[in-house]
Structure 1
């Protein structure tokens, strides 16, 4: 009876008994030696099969030894570096199959490096992991060279054509520290999530720039338009100054919904700690109202109570009202989707899990590589449509009859 390996159960038990393993390290060391012996025997068998031990030379009419001793070769394997004696082929006709000439690695080391990098593992930790687990020594330069292989993939992804129309687009930035010209500076990673008319979510792109600004957002929106996005029904954004103007410059018909949660956070900056709990409770009836008229009535009541003590907070709500109140015109299913930027903030939390081990990134490119690989993992989980999308799409066809064409 043969097991999944090369030994039957009885032979395997005898093998274990003979070696008296006391730890996994003992097993690893034994497998390493076994791998080395099998690999070397395979190379010698290849040479014997291919050339034979001796070869007849027609020119001199003599039989020559086709081997010319051995040469040492260190090969990286799943069991660590192993040193083998490779038979020399003096006549030069031998092309090894198992370990090719000049090959020094027989593992999927590149895939392992990229997988670890995608999980946010630092370069130093990747080195330690590969050395401890496999006995393989890799340099920071090698790790960088391996991860650089995904740069063309990122460029292709970043420039892929997009759909003509997106129902909802979320725009937000997440901030990181990056080395630049010998200094550590704050950089913004500009993120865009789009929901298409089929209810599917997608990350439309990632851009690395200076601290978040409406000017950079304008360049992002312009790029989206150049990649095929001709219309966006609703955009969900935070309260960044100039954001609305940047959106209007590229998509003048797009409705803008400013995030209610961001508005609350920004406005309570003016509130003393002892009043914070009461103020946030009194704000709730405003954005929980059934209609915009009801919300305005609640805002008036709020102003009567807190307007004199916190005039700047009340002024902020009045100044932003037109774009805070956008969601009131829609039914509950669509309201729930757009009145906050929770969707993109949830995506940001997934990125933070990966990047939290990197306090400072050496370059913009290194940051982009890690964000892209983390995004690929996130996208694998986005397999279904947005909840209640059938109902939402029906509502969109009513509100945007000329811009939403149901197939």
Structure 2
């Protein structure tokens, strides 16, 4: 990804801050940054700075035109640089348009469907600068929905994903004049090029075996091959669906959820020393060492009645929680938990909580899909860092 460096006019920014409220300050700062960013993009495209004579120059500056950009904090007006031949196009509008269109659509649909509050109405007016009609929402939806749908249905047989992470989160949706809870299924993965990807998502009524099975069948219909490992929590329906749909694949129980379950059943007395012994098991590099540490843990605490439930949980889920140790050691930290997918969920939640209640399922699919598209695009520019701190 191209790295751009540019200088901001801090005096202008300071003047805006001293004379404006915080909403205007934030908008002003964003406008300054984006305008400067586009200016630097034009310089790089032309291969020459302002008033600079250069043999490599490919075109000439041709002033600016104003264009509005819809952001989650409202509508802003930018000065877009242009060139004589008209071939230059800044990347900003493409990069920020999907999520913010989805956000605006979801907010507007709340108004149209009669579930808005005065606050929501004010937000919509700030976003759009006008009252919205059903036809206006429909025209925007027609442009955005096919993009999200195409991305959600893209083929997965182009590359192999050895490690897949799956999880579900819950959102609120208005349906038949009632507010209901719906599950959002999200699957991320690591490919053979050591890139993280968001490979699928769906919105369904509840988290169940049937819903997970349907989700996996859709992924397989798009060309997903059985991975080496599927990492998730211990939902019974999810486990059953993984076993049925990915023959020959190992299931890795998220060690973070597993340890929390064990610790939640420990006595408060001498808790620190017990947790230290428990962590030792999952810090092993070899699977035989983990089993030895597990046996030592049982020998040490088997006679303590207050630990009976915790020991039972450890014994029952132990093997499922150490399957990551069968993979190369460099992967252990990355594939023993669903932490990477939890971060994606947090980003979805950050956008979703502004709306709070989606006006319909399609609105939820649109906004969550746009957020995941943006996040997937960010992930595709990175490689897995094996040297990150634990």
Q: TM-score range by the shorter chain?
A: 0.5 to 0.7
**Corresponding residue SS for 1:312:** helix
- Does 2:342 align with 1:349? no
Kindly state the Cα deviation for residue 112 of structure 1 after the two structures are TM-superposed: 7.1
Partner of 2:312: 315
Kindly state the Cα deviation for residue 328 of structure 1 after the two structures are TM-superposed: 1.7
- State which of 153, 158, 164 in structure 1 corresponds to 2:152: 158
C-alpha spacing 1:129/1:360, structure 2 compared with 1 (3 Å): closer
- Does 2:279 align with 1:284? yes
Partner of 1:33: none
- Does 2:356 align with 1:362? no
C-alpha spacing 1:117/1:286, structure 2 compared with 1 (3 Å): same
* Structure 2, unaligned runs of 5 or more: 1-18, 21-66, 69-92, 109-115
Aligned equivalents of 1:314, 1:220: Cα separation in 2: 34
Q: After the TM superposition, which residues 68-217 of structure 1 pair with which residues of structure 2 at under 5 Å, given as runs?
A: 115=100, 117-118=102-103, 122-123=107-108, 128=122, 131=125, 136-139=129-132, 141=134, 144-149=137-142, 150-163=144-157, 165-217=160-212
Partner of 2:288: 293
Aligned equivalents of 1:326, 1:204: Cα separation in 2: 22
Aligned equivalents of 1:352, 1:126: Cα separation in 2: 18
**Corresponding residue SS for 2:284:** coil
Kindly state the Cα deviation for residue 316 of structure 1 after the two structures are TM-superposed: 1.7
Which string of whole-angstrom CA distances, capped at 9 and with x for unpartnered residues, describes residues 27-62 of structure 1?
xxxxxxxxxxxxxxxxxxxxxxxxxxxxxxxxxxxx
Partner of 2:329: 332
Which string of whole-angstrom CA distances, capped at 9 and with x for unpartnered residues, describes residues 57-76 of structure 1?
xxxxxxxxxxxxxxxxxxxx
Q: Check conservation: 1:119, 1:374, Cα contact below 8 A.
A: no
CA RMSD in angstroms comes to 3.2
- State which of 246, 250, 267 in structure 2 corresponds to 1:251: 246
Kindly state the Cα deviation for residue 339 of structure 1 after the two structures are TM-superposed: 0.7
Aligned equivalents of 2:172, 2:377: Cα separation in 1: 27
Q: Check conservation: 2:152, 2:201, Cα contact below 8 A.
A: yes
Aligned equivalents of 2:306, 2:220: Cα separation in 1: 45
C-alpha spacing 1:156/1:304, structure 2 compared with 1 (3 Å): same
Q: Check conservation: 2:161, 2:191, Cα contact below 8 A.
A: yes
Q: TM-score, normalised on structure 2?
A: 0.64
Which string of whole-angstrom CA distances, capped at 9 and with x for unpartnered residues, describes residues 225-264 of structure 1?
1111133122111111143331121221112211100111
Aligned equivalents of 2:372, 2:186: Cα separation in 1: 11
Q: Greater RCO between the two (CA within 8 Å, min separation 6)?
A: 2
Kindly state the Cα deviation for residue 119 of structure 1 after the two structures are TM-superposed: 8.2
Aligned positions, number = 284
